[in-house]
Amino acid sequence: MIDYIYLGIYKTFKVILSLLPRRFRNRVLAVLAAWAYRVSKKHRIIIDRNLDIAYEGKLGQQEKQYIGKAAFENLIDTVFGIIERDGMSHKKVLENVSFEGEEIIERYKKEGKHFILVTGHYGNWELLSQAIALRFDLKLVGVGRKLDSDLMDRVLKQNREQFNVEMVYKKGALKGCIDAIRDQKIVGILTDQHIRKNQSIDVTFFGHKATHTPLASILSRKFGLDMIPAFIHTEDYKHYKVTIYDPIQTRKTDNQEEDLAILTQAQSDMMEKVIKQDPKQWFWMHNRWKGCEKR
Structure confidence by residue, pLDDT tens digits, 154-196: 888 899 999 999 999 888 889 999 999 999 999 999 999 878 8
**290 located within any domain:** no
286, part of any domain? no
In contact, 232 and 127? CB cutoff 8 Å: yes
In a domain, 265, yes or no: yes
Work out the pLDDT band at 292, boundaries 50, 70, 90: low
Considering the domain boundaries, does residue 293 fall inside one? Answer: no
Classify residue 82: in a domain, yes or no. Answer: yes
Mean pLDDT: which of 8-17, 154-163, 197-206, 263-272 is highest? Answer: 263-272
Q: How confident is the model at residue 6 (pLDDT cuts 50, 70, 90)?
A: confident
Q: Mean pLDDT across the chain, nearest whole number? A: 93
Q: Domain range for residue 166?
A: 2-281
User: Is 287 within a domain?
Assistant: no
| Residue 294, in any domain of the structure | no
Q: What total of structural domains would you count in the chain?
A: 1
